[in-house]
Chains A and B, each alone.
Chain A
Amino acid sequence: MNASALVAQLTEVVLAILLAPLLSGWVNQCRAWMQNRRGPGLLQPYRVLAKLFEKEVVLAHNASSLFRASPYLIFGCLVLAAAIVPTVGTDLPLNPAADAIALVGLLAVARFFIALAGMDVGTAFGSLGARREMMVGFLAEPALLMVLFTASLISHSTSLSTIVETLAHREFVIYPSMAFAGVAFTMVSLAENARIPVDNPATHLELTMIHEAMVLEYSGRHLAMIEWAASLKLFVYSCIGLALFLPFGVAQGGDWLGLLLALPALAAKLAAGGAALAAIEMVSAKMRIFRAPEFLGTAFMLAVLALLVHVLLER
């Protein structure tokens, strides 16, 4: 471990915390533009956070300490997840501590606690949201794992840094398995981040909402932490996607210039990814909730297929 690695690690954490709301704002703004609306501006998520932090917390009478602790826990988990994924440099001090499987585990911890928090007050919507979130989760989590496994098999390692290094520094070959994995990953990240067509972050339509239903009882700073964590989640998923499918421009260990150049590369890639997400949301319609298992089952099958394609064709 050297100084540049430490700098890369800290940059990554700080960037993730500070820029995650900007990414959400960018996606919303792009969507507004595509719909011929003016949109609230890029900084709207920050304004929302500031407003929520100022407000007092209205807590249900029977909310337990688990309910109050969960927002911080979820936020911490997602920051850690952002720290694990190599976005600006590959030689990260945290890299040997957590690999791709641990990353999926970390996202599962966040989901576990947000679902429990949703059930804590004991409202109809809370448990409904928790149930739906876990339904999305039990199909999306193995699919994500299979996508990461395909990349791990290509690079013979589950360490995320090694994966990114291998994928970034090979001669340009199109792996058919990664094409399958890419489609599967896109579907999973739409579902996991509560985007259209699985969920709609913009409405509180009770028959179809998932994520919003779980967090209905939250207010004030707790809700702010949850919202921030949600945008961190989008950021983390975007970074996983970039790391696996567009791993170019990421700095190697010990390379100060590379580290500087990695920042604009990351910004450009995230902007493009956000615009693509907005476009996907624009052209698709929200599904009925019981179509979601089919959607995610397809993603899971595609991911397994990616693995099989790799085993059969690419060895």
Chain B
Amino acid sequence: MGFPLGGWLSAVDAVLAAACAWLVLGAVAVAAPASLRLARALYPAGALVGLALAATALASLAGAETTRVLMLGLPGLPFHARLDALSAFFLLLLASVAAGVSVYTRGSLRHGAETAPGVQCLCYHVFLASMALVLVADDAYFFMVAWETMALASFFLVTSDHRHAEIRRAGYLYLLIAHLGAISILLCFGALQAGTGDYRFDAMRALQQPAGWGSVAFALALAGFGAKAGLVPLHIWLPEAHPAAPSPVSALMSAVMLKTAVYGLMRVTLDLIGFPLWWWGVVALVVGLASALFGVIFAATQSDMKRLLAYSSIENIGLIVAGFGLALLFRGFGMGSLAALALTAALYHCLNHAFFKGLLFLATGSVLHATSERSLGRLGGLIHRMPWVAWCALIGSAAIAGLPPLNGFVSEWLLLQAFLFTPGLPQGYVNMIVPVAGAAVALAAALSGYVMVKFFGVVFLGQPRDARASEAHDAGPWERGALVWLAAGCVVLGLAPTLVLALLEPVTQRFTGYALAGLGSGWLFLAPIDAERASYSPLLFFAVAVLLVGAAWLAVRAFYHGRVRRAPPWDCGFPWLTARMQDSAEGFGQPVKVVFRPVFRIDGEAPSPGDARPRYRESAEDRLWYWLYLPIARAVERVTSLVTVLQRGRISVYLMYSFATLLVLLFFIR
């Protein structure tokens, strides 16, 4: 399959044109910033651009690499763009999710937002375009420009409700961590160019790095891209920024922007450095699993819908990085086919996470709009008032929980297979790590089931805990369309894994030298190694399950009466039932809090039995704030307070400083 327009427009040109189209849409929006009608027209256009881009990416996945040098940039360092299989895969992810989110945003535009709709539309489309450019950038300069544009555009989107102090604070934290990450990435490129001063990726690929500098570059890349992806301990901005941002923005950030960081990590490690050492894989594996477990344990105790989903994103990114680490480990030991399997699992999970997390963030957006409430403790029973949102969210929740036959299960299945079929590795200790790491993945997957039962059960099931939840209305047609699009993605990705694996084959071929061995075993069966070892057929599985459930239903229908009587809930005969007696979000998280107590910093007070005015308070916080961030903040504060000694507030003193500096410099340079 080649790119169809090959004659006059190469695939990379088409991608650049799509990015330009998004930028133009943004620019048009500023012409009438206050006009809601204009913005309503522009978002669907942006979705169409997204679909076109998705088609381009899909067509060019198996095609040849195409490059383009742009007439922009610095003199002597023009922007280089390049589209290869890895870029095309991530562009497909970006464009297909962005199409859904744009349609949703069209539906959720309303009067009375704080930022003018035109400005919001500009930031939104600049954000999309910059993510596309990050994915095709082929020199460090272009990459950093696109990367920073992405960070700034998303910062302005996060702070679009900037009148609230906590939203400004969240935005600041996000910007801070984003820039710490950017510095690290910049230094990584510095290490990669190895003193040649040539910042083209082509030149970096051609260089043979010494192992020491390669390791430095890997460490910097892991820190820099890890800060963007939300790996522990640089995850702290995620649970702050996601609740602050409008829901479509949270969806884009979580579903797509975190994946650009995964893309960057893969690009630098597998492509630019080119020779992964096995112990990098162990580092990535450990960091990834720590993030996965940390994320899911904290997600289980959250009582804010979007914070819960943000922590769940940390978990999923952790699983992706763990899969990637496993791929590095195998690659480092020269086991290409297993590296291909682990890399496939990681990439597949990227795609899955984009769809289900985008879906759930959009669903919380509809819930938030209908009830103006983010706290789980005031929701409930929404399946009756918002059936469309509820059933789509159920698909998303089941997919995140890793239930067959949806998409989350397929990538977890592949990941577990990669862990399981580790033949004897040359390193004894690593041999022991791999099964234990597999156990950690299994634990994280099981815990995510817990988290999703909590999320879906508390928000959509039960009785409304608050008046506003009982007066909610369902999402509008545009929002429904977007939700159904993403939910359909979850189902299709779950039922047709062999198609996705065929799409991923050029990527694994390019970076590990191997395709999955079992690809030839037919479209029905997913058998990554060979059919004897493991196979799974979601279609057959699903068909038999539907058949059995349907047969059970029909049989009961046929043989027994259908009498149903409606009555008040029984609840063991307890008559004074109120909605507040259901489990709250905190209550549902209690077992996890008890089982994993050492992870949390728990602070609270409980009333004594005879207390006339009982007060109950409990908070479970992230220990890393106190162990890592507060000490750093205090140290910075102390240093800056020392510097203030220099500030005298008199211009003559400052002139004297300049004079003295000049003298000192002259002394050195002369």
Contact = CB atoms under 8 A, between A and B. Distances in A.
A204 interface: yes
Contacts of A97: 525, 535-537, 540-541, 544
Interface string A80-107: 1001000000000010111101100110
A119 B462 contact: yes
Interface in B415-473: 416-417, 420-421, 424, 431-432, 434-436, 438-439, 442-443, 445-447, 449-450, 452-454, 456-458, 461-463
Interface string A286-305: 00001001000100100110
A61 B581 contact: no
A152 B572 contact: no
A33 interface: no
A139 B537 CA distance: 27
A156 interface: yes
Contacts of B77: none
A14 interface: no
B401 A112 contact: yes
Nearest to A117: B461
Nearest to A293: B595
B450 A138 contact: yes
Tell me if A's interface is mostly helix, strand, loop or mixed. helix
Interface in A203-253: 204, 206, 216-217, 220-221, 225
A62 B569 contact: yes
Interface stretch (A36-44, A123-131, A255-263): A123-131
A312 interface: yes
Contact of B438 (A72, A106, A124, A149): A149
B449 A137 contact: yes
A216 B571 contact: yes
Contacts of B456: 116
A141 interface: yes
Contacts of A120: 383, 457, 461-462
A146 B534 CA distance: 16
B403 interface: yes
Interface stretch (B188-196, B548-556, B610-618, B641-649): B548-556
A108 B534 contact: no
A89 B203 CA distance: 60
A299 to B, nearest CB: 12
A156 B529 CA distance: 11
Contacts of B8: none
A145 interface: yes
B500 interface: no
B457 A80 contact: no
A73 B551 CA distance: 11
A94 B449 contact: no
Contacts, number: 269
Contacts of A269: none
Given A76-B545, A76-B549, A115-B453, A308 B572 contact: no
A132 B591 contact: yes
Given A137-B450, A149-B438, A122 B582 contact: yes
A75 B435 CA distance: 33
A144 to B, nearest CB: 9
B556 A130 contact: no
Given A58-B565, A149-B438, A76 B548 contact: yes
Interface residues of A, number: 82
A311 B446 contact: no
Interface residues of B, number: 88
A50 to B, nearest CB: 10
B547 to A, nearest CB: 8
B402 interface: yes
B404 A102 contact: yes
Interface in B176-198: none
B564 interface: yes
B537 to A, nearest CB: 4
Contact of A146 (B439, B457, B462, B549): B439
B561 interface: yes
A102 B453 contact: no
Contact of B461 (A54, A112, A116, A312): A116
Interface string A139-169: 1011001100100110011110010000000
A66 B57 CA distance: 38
Contact of A217 (B565, B570, B587): B570
A315 B425 CA distance: 12
Interface in B239-253: none
Contacts of B445: 141-142
B379 to A, nearest CB: 12
A48 interface: no
B1 interface: no
Interface in B543-601: 544-546, 548-553, 556, 559-561, 563-572, 574, 577, 579, 581-583, 587-588, 590-592, 594-595
B560 A66 contact: no
B533 A158 contact: yes
B442 A116 contact: no
B404 A105 contact: yes
Nearest to B537: A97
B409 interface: yes
A211 B383 CA distance: 24
Given A121-B462, A162-B532, A225-B552, A83 B449 contact: no
B535 A99 contact: yes
Contacts of A124: 571, 574, 577, 581-583
Nearest to A53: B560
27 contacts: A53-B560, A56-B564, A59-B564, A60-B568, A62-B569, A64-B383, A64-B461, A76-B551, A80-B545, A96-B531, A96-B535, A105-B409, A115-B457, A119-B458, A121-B462, A122-B380, A125-B571, A126-B582, A130-B457, A134-B450, A142-B442, A142-B443, A216-B570, A220-B564, A221-B560, A304-B435, A307-B438
Given A61-B567, A120-B462, 20 more contacts: A56-B563, A62-B381, A64-B383, A75-B552, A76-B549, A80-B541, A94-B544, A102-B404, A109-B404, A112-B401, A115-B457, A119-B453, A135-B595, A142-B443, A142-B445, A146-B442, A158-B417, A158-B533, A159-B533, A308-B435
**4 closest Cβ pairs, A-B complex:** A122-B462, A76-B549, A127-B583, A122-B463
